[in-house]
Amino acid sequence: MPRSRLILVLGDQLTPDLTSLAEGDPDRDRVVMAEVREEAEYVPHHRKKMVFLFAAMRHFAARLRRRGWTVDYYELDRGLGDLCEALRRSAEGREIAEVLITEPGEYRLREAMKRRWPQSLGLSVRLLEDRRFLCSLDAFRDWAAGRKQLRMEFFYRDMRRRTGLLMEPDGEPVGGRWNFDADNRKRFDGKHRLPGPPRFEPDATTRQVLEQVAEHYPDRFGDLEPFWFAVTASQAEEALAHFLDQALPHFGDYQDAMTEGDDFLFHSLLSLYINAGLLDPLQVCEAAERCYQQGRAPLNAVEGFIRQILGWREYVRGIYWLMMPDYEEENRLDSHADLPWFYWSGETDMRCVAEAVRATREHAYAHHIQRLMVTGNLALLLGVDVKQIHEWYLAVYADAYEWVELPNTLGMVMHADGGYLGSKPYAASGKYIQRMSDYCAGCAYKVSSAEEDNSCPFNSLYWHFIQRHRRRFEKHPRMSRVYKNWDRMDGDKRRAILARADALLKHPEDL
């Protein structure tokens, strides 16, 4: 009889047709799943993020058992240090032929699997392609080959052609345009009911995880209660249906808006379910496309939603694997300031930042504009150390895995790659936040001023950023007007703005 194999399933691979499972034989092979200290602690993950993943893993293990698989599941209370130890435990006393693993989404883990695990286990470790993505890594490399700039927009168009999503039979995009982003920048006017995400009551399995995470990580960042995330594929499907029916029709108009009193607006919160494997990205895109075809949602909303998945999600994964490991060390703007403590505490007089951190603490979630243009923009303007802000984003958001988070943080937020991912830095003054939110009305700082003691910190820090990086950006075609505006300012006003920024940079903890 052939020897059995061990199939390691990771916490973000909760998909029954995983390549490793497809190659395995439930009558002979064993699945190994484990909640281990190394994965829980290499950054201080939000406690709600850990509960989501551990609960979803336990439910998925039960699903596999119902399908006839033998599953060795090691819960947090078993105290295992790392995944290799879990495999070693499962191999003890058995004749094991090899270990099968669908490729992980983090470079550090893949390197450990390839270079250290075979010797440590005394077994062959075979990595299989992760086919849950819409663009294979080989296909992305082929697309990138020979291009001077890897712009997401052109990748997205190729993906539209490849999948046929929102395409006419003649090869033209539905509606005559590839991108409706210009239509998706409205400030929320309060005229539409905000549906909020669906909330799922924790069952006995999830409640047990809540208790264990509370016991093992009592002081870790993040609220545990209330916990209402979907933790099964069927619940995730309910969340998708709710979004398509209740939120997608207005998602496009208000996808960049922020409002005090509601943390979700019309956002889907489906990224954590897609990234963990509970939802299939192509099926999600096809379901959104059907809403447009059936007249249930406008084109700007559907196109904007599909672009986030088909375009941006696939693009940043390709960038990550194309550029690692050197990409992680990029810091072209020489950013080395410490991350202010209020990123963890929320104790700041900046209303927009306090609201973003509060939402993050409560939900392990904040939408993309809060991440990019509030907490991210501030980190950029303060010159926060790239690795510190990278680890913060990776830790605090339930949908964050390094393959998706690192390019977003290093490239989009911090412009640390010199424009490889984004053509210009996403630096902005407080006027952007005032335009897209109602935060400024209740803020202790004055958004209309840049040089006064109570002026919005974003304003003076923005101009300081522009001035200190002048040599790098002055001739940039998308930024030359900014420098002309700066140079036209009265000299005394410019000096006062820079003095205000210098004081803030010296004591950012006082913001």
pLDDT tens-digit map of 254-300: 999 999 989 999 999 999 999 999 999 999 999 999 999 999 999 99
Residue 186's pLDDT is 86
Nearest-5° angle of CA 272, CA 163, CA 286? 50
Q: Which helix (H) or strand (E) holds 31?
A: strand 30-34
Fold of 342-510: DNA Cyclobutane Dipyrimidine Photolyase, subunit A; domain 3 (1.10.579)
Q: Are 409 and 384 in contact (CB under 8 A)?
A: no
CATH 3.60.15.10 for domain 4-128: no
Query: Can you list the residues of the chain whose pLDDT is less than 70?
Result: 1-2
Fold of 137-200+232-323: 1.25.40
Question: Residues 294-353: pLDDT tens digits?
Answer: 999 999 999 999 999 999 999 999 999 999 999 999 999 999 999 999 999 999 999 999
Whole-model pTM?
Answer: 0.95
Nearest-5° angle of CA 280, CA 282, CA 287? 95
Largest CA distance in the chain: 85
Residue 149's pLDDT is 83
Q: Pick the closest to residue 247 from 273, 267, 269, 271 (CA basis).
A: 267
Report how far Cα 204 is from the mean position of its chain's Cα atoms.
29
Q: What is the 3-state secondary structure (H, E, C) of 46-60?
A: CHHHHHHHHHHHHHH
Residue 2's pLDDT is 66
CATH 1.25.40.80: which residues of the chain?
137-200+232-323
Residue 255 DSSP code: T
CATH 3.40.50.620: which residues of the chain?
4-128
CATH 1.10.579.10: which residues of the chain?
342-510
Name the token pair of 91. 């191999």
Instruction: Kindly tell me the sign of the dihedral angle through the C-alpha atoms of 330, 334, 336, 342.
Output: negative
> Could you write out the DSSP letters of every residue in 189-254?
-S-S-----------HHHHHHHHHHHHH-TTSSS---S-----SHHHHHHHHHHIIIIIHHHHHHH
CA distance 301 to 257: 14
Backbone torsions φ then ψ of 367, nearest 5 degrees: -80, 175
Residue 1's pLDDT is 52
What torsion do the CA atoms of 464, 470, 473, 478 make, to the nearest 10 degrees? 60
CA distance 99 to 256: 45
Q: Pick the closest to residue 234 from 200, 187, 197, 281 (CA basis).
A: 200
